[in-house]
Structure 1
Amino acid sequence: MADTYDLVILGSGPGGYVAAIRASQLGLKVAIVERERLGGICLNWGCIPTKALLRTSEIYHYMQNAESYGLKADNVGFDLAKVVDRSRKVAGQLNAGVKGLMKKNKVTVVEGVGTVTAKGKLSVKQGDKTVELEAKNIIVATGARARDLPFAKADGKTIWTYRHAMVPTEMPTKLLVIGSGAIGVEFASFYNDMGADVTIVEMLPRILPVEDEEVSAFMDKALTKQGIKLLTGTGLEGLAPSGSGVTAKIKHKDGKVVEETFSHAIVAIGIVPNTENIGLEALGVETDRGHIKTDGYGRTNVDGIWAIGDVTGAPWLAHKASHEGIIAVEKLAGGSPHQMDKANIPGCTYSRPQVASVGMTEAKAKEAGYELKVGKFPFIGNGKAIALGEAEGFVKTVFDAKTGELLGAHMVGAEVTELIQGYVVARQLETTEAELMETVFAHPTLSEMMHESVLGAYGRSIHY
């Protein structure tokens, strides 16, 4: 006989487990099905362990440049196995934390491979055993996986996905990073700071192509200055293991194809949604290029079937998945939550320097027909940034000249991934330039640049 619940969630990533907790808070009987580890890709193989690695490379960079702070650090080095071990322990600690949260919130965890067999019914395969579940509602939160090159499948030896790149057994000497989105740039930054010779290949005309053009241009100069070779407008026509490394056929802007050998390559060209073999086709759940189509509440076209997170499409971000989970659960429980507004989802890249943004780029705002007021303030004009030895970067704000609406905010520099939330809150509250100008910012802080950028958009900047 099947176990019966109000809600069953397929997948325990940041969308699934957050949805489970909120459902429990609302008094629903909840089960969550997971085939690997609680916390999903983000916690175990993505957001969290990569930030642990990047923290290591950041500290290593500071140690190598200790003299600029009046310090001495001789014979600086690292133990790669210990670097990886720290990252895995961080992920393990948080995995245990999610287990604790499931227990605290009385969420039933069902381990195994889940398949939706009919509306309101799931079958979970646990080795030779199968468990049947029934629920009034099912949320699909199965996430996504790294996309392979069509002509070169990752082998974990010399051709890596992000999962391989997080647990290296050897340090690359000459690394090719294919793709310059957030994942590609973060790994390029990490391995470059740890001493590898890094090249990034990007098909589009600029790196970090979803960011504001000024941010991309700044990052191009910053990463080039750090020694990373950037090949934009460049295609990859072949990639194959070669001896102890990998040989790439790189098609440059001029059309010339050049072969070059690297010790390793990281493929960071996007993701593939995990929608296959989970029963969606038989139910007639609509998809678009593999991603499940949903409305602003996470509802699919099939009654009782919901979907959240990476499996529903861009932006492929953990915080987007979590928020979608909250919205879906509150809606299916009979509440009246707001619909997801993707324009208010911040994006962050945790490289050195960091990048963060929310809302429209200047170019997109112009395309949409807005008359703009744009402010920009450099890190070099901020006392805290100079004191930190982090004087490179800027904050940019884009306003509707007619209404004062903050259309977008874009940052590059130290700790901007922490600063961006101020502008996210401002957009959520529908704040205009007037409220931002009248807000008191603590001194000395990096956040003062946020104030100055707003002032600058209206010709009132004080320190620049």
Structure 2
Amino acid sequence: MNNEKKKFDLIVIGAGPAGYVAALRASQLGIKNICVVEKDRPGGVCLNWGCIPSKSLIHSAETFDSRKDLEKMGVKIDITGFNFGSVYKQSRKVTDILSRGVAFLLKKNNITLIQKEFKFVSDYELESEDGEKITAEKIIIASGAVPRSIPNVDIDEDLIISSKGALSLTTLPSKVLIVGSGAIGVEFAFIWNSFGVEVHIVEIMENILPMEDEESALLIRNLFEKKGIKIFTKASIDKIEKNGNKSSVSITANDGTKIMEEYEKILIATGRKASTEALGIENTSIQLEKGFIKVNERFMTNVAGIYAIGDVINTLQLAHVGSREGELAAEYISGKKDIHAIDYNFVPKCIYCQPEVASFGFTEKQLKANNVSYRKVNFPYRINGKSVSSESTNGFVKVLYEENKKNILGAHVAGHNATEIIHELLLIKEANIAPQKAGNIIHAHPTLSEMIMESMKMIEGCAVNV
């Protein structure tokens, strides 16, 4: 065994959206001899077992569900030959393509990729299980997050599964329970329901999508229930007993009623926690806070030269946030000036069920709780020409703004393609474009983006189509 240490100028732990972007940006800025270590495939959890394969499943679910539109036209469709295994294979094909793309970018930028699990043996030194040692004066930790379970419940990836287990299914269960109704829970509810699975959701909070605008959450709940999804809010799981290939679950409903149900699969979708346990943090001086790596506003830990970004720190656990943090960390390390920091209040959050939900900024509930005066406009999808013509009229565009009209406090879009059109509102906010000017920009007709124009005109009191 060769005990010689390999010395790099920068080591990045993790090749997910935060880590690989940090490495590429560092290379752009002139940092040489960069090493990325990744125990799995390039792209991290998001690309391999999260954001990307789930969107492939959602696309397949939408395609499968759209057969109902053809049936309205008199087309008879025989689905007896349907094989969910082909849906799974397509989702893995997508991840393979994009993972190879990340590996190509790293190679193109002369970045060393070592596909092994490394852990700290001291502040600036890491070692793999087979004894390979690497060191650097600058290290970025981007080890991501892992699924969080609930008390007294072990995720076995058989009967009780995480999102990774859900993405690994090659056959459809007949009946599932989803514990938690954030983005992951709601997206899988949509996927499985679209393929004909009986779906139940248990949420401990008052509403599903508890971090989103209440009006958005109510819209999704009503539409889900119309599709046959059974939803228990302000409810809790009392006990789970495994019985062969199924599990019996005791649920306490919001009125105190005890409910017993049997499920083929139980998806635990109650969030994720920072992945720090396998890093060897105990062998370093790095400080943790509430389970996350503690960093300052420049993403540096308490150890000089060691940075942390992405889901391993206590910011928004979103891939696009991690990527931006990766860019910023590289810029801080390189000494770049005029760095545009992140305002975490105004990051887009997107949920890809149908209809979609997208937002940034504050909700009405948050503004009221903080005694912030605001006004709002709400433009419904049902009077937008493109929405009506494409039979996608469920939804709205809501903008919350200061009474002086100069500042958008929050925007919430629920409806078809919400995750795309939210960005025009964010641009208006970030570029400080006055509602009058934004409303005067001519939008092509018919388009969904006309609703943004109409919302700005509503703020000015001059909308003619509402």
- State whether TM-score is above 0.5: yes
3-state DSSP class of the match of 2:220? helix
Residue correspondence of structure 1 range 68-147 to structure 2 within 5 A: 68=72, 70=73, 72-76=75-79, 78-125=82-129, 129-147=130-148
- 1:385/1:203 Cα in 2 relative to 1: closer, same or farther (>3 Å)? same
Higher mean C-alpha displacement, 426-435 vs 156-165: 426-435
Give the partner amino acid of 1:390: S
Provide the residue aligned with 2:454 in structure 1. 452
Question: Which digits, 9 at most, give the CA deviation of each residue in 1:199-219, with x for residues without a partner?
Answer: 110000000001011111111
How far is 1:403 from its partner? 5.0
C-alpha distance in 2 between matches for 1:440 and 1:307:
43
Provide the residue aligned with 1:221 in structure 2. 222
3-state DSSP class of the match of 1:462? coil
- 1:164/1:120 Cα in 2 relative to 1: closer, same or farther (>3 Å)? same
Higher mean C-alpha displacement, 427-436 vs 341-350: 427-436
Residue from 339, 342, 348 that aligns with 2:341: 339
How far is 1:364 from its partner? 1.5
Report how many aligned residue pairs link the two structures. Answer: 460
**Structure 2: runs of 5 or more not aligned:** none
C-alpha distance in 1 between matches for 2:312 and 2:74:
48
Contact 1:49/1:166, CA 8 A, preserved across alignment: yes
3-state DSSP class of the match of 2:66? helix
3-state DSSP class of the match of 2:132? strand
How far is 1:63 from its partner? 1.2
Higher mean C-alpha displacement, 395-404 vs 86-95: 395-404
Give the partner amino acid of 2:143: T
Contact 2:405/2:459, CA 8 A, preserved across alignment: no
Q: Does 1:4 align with 2:7?
A: yes
How far is 1:73 from its partner? 4.2
Contact 1:297/1:340, CA 8 A, preserved across alignment: no
C-alpha distance in 1 between matches for 2:298 and 2:444:
38
Contact 1:371/1:400, CA 8 A, preserved across alignment: yes
Contact 1:205/1:233, CA 8 A, preserved across alignment: yes
Higher mean C-alpha displacement, 163-172 vs 387-396: 163-172
Provide the residue aligned with 2:199 in structure 1. 198
Contact 1:404/1:434, CA 8 A, preserved across alignment: no
How far is 1:343 from its partner? 1.4
Provide the residue aligned with 1:238 in structure 2. 239
How far is 1:419 from its partner? 1.0
Residue from 425, 428, 452 that aligns with 1:426: 428
Contact 1:380/1:386, CA 8 A, preserved across alignment: yes
How far is 1:189 from its partner? 0.4
Give the partner amino acid of 2:221: D
Using the size of structure 1 for normalisation, the TM-score is: 0.96
Provide the residue aligned with 2:59 in structure 1. 55
Question: Which digits, 9 at most, give the CA deviation of each residue in 1:267-287, with x for residues without a partner?
Answer: 101112111131323323222
Provide the residue aligned with 1:65 in structure 2. 69
Contact 1:173/1:263, CA 8 A, preserved across alignment: yes
**Structure 1: runs of 5 or more not aligned:** none
Provide the residue aligned with 1:401 in structure 2. 403
Contact 2:440/2:453, CA 8 A, preserved across alignment: no
How far is 1:81 from its partner? 0.7
Provide the residue aligned with 1:389 in structure 2. 391
C-alpha distance in 1 between matches for 2:128 and 2:74:
57
Higher mean C-alpha displacement, 115-124 vs 438-447: 115-124
C-alpha distance in 2 between matches for 1:243 and 1:166:
22
How far is 1:369 from its partner? 3.4
3-state DSSP class of the match of 1:303? coil
Contact 1:374/1:456, CA 8 A, preserved across alignment: no
Contact 1:296/1:340, CA 8 A, preserved across alignment: no
Provide the residue aligned with 1:212 in structure 2. 213
C-alpha distance in 2 between matches for 1:277 and 1:160:
21
Give the partner amino acid of 1:391: T
Provide the residue aligned with 2:296 in structure 1. 295
Question: Which digits, 9 at most, give the CA deviation of each residue in 1:271-325, with x for residues without a partner?
Answer: 1211113132332322222111222321112211100001112421100000000
Residue identity over aligned pairs, in percent, reads 36
How far is 1:71 from its partner? 5.9
Question: Which digits, 9 at most, give the CA deviation of each residue in 1:61-81, with x for residues without a partner?
Answer: 11123244x362421352111
Question: Which digits, 9 at most, give the CA deviation of each residue in 1:389-413, with x for residues without a partner?
Answer: 1111111001111252011110111
Provide the residue aligned with 2:412 in structure 1. 410
**CA RMSD, aligned part only?**
1.5
- 1:121/1:243 Cα in 2 relative to 1: closer, same or farther (>3 Å)? closer
Provide the residue aligned with 1:280 in structure 2. 281
Provide the residue aligned with 1:379 in structure 2. 381
3-state DSSP class of the match of 1:420? helix
Question: Which digits, 9 at most, give the CA deviation of each residue in 1:347-378, with x for residues without a partner?
Answer: 00000111000111122223333321201111
Question: Which digits, 9 at most, give the CA deviation of each residue in 1:409-460, with x for residues without a partner?
Answer: 1011111111111122222223332332232222111011112122223433
Question: Which digits, 9 at most, give the CA deviation of each residue in 1:108-150, with x for residues without a partner?
Answer: 001211112333322233xxx3222121210000001111233
Contact 1:178/1:268, CA 8 A, preserved across alignment: yes
Contact 1:162/1:268, CA 8 A, preserved across alignment: yes
How far is 1:26 from its partner? 1.0
Contact 2:126/2:134, CA 8 A, preserved across alignment: yes
Using the size of structure 2 for normalisation, the TM-score is: 0.95
Contact 1:397/1:406, CA 8 A, preserved across alignment: yes
Contact 1:151/1:239, CA 8 A, preserved across alignment: no
Provide the residue aligned with 2:159 in structure 1. 158
Question: Which digits, 9 at most, give the CA deviation of each residue in 1:227-260, with x for residues without a partner?
Answer: 1111100011112322331111101112232221
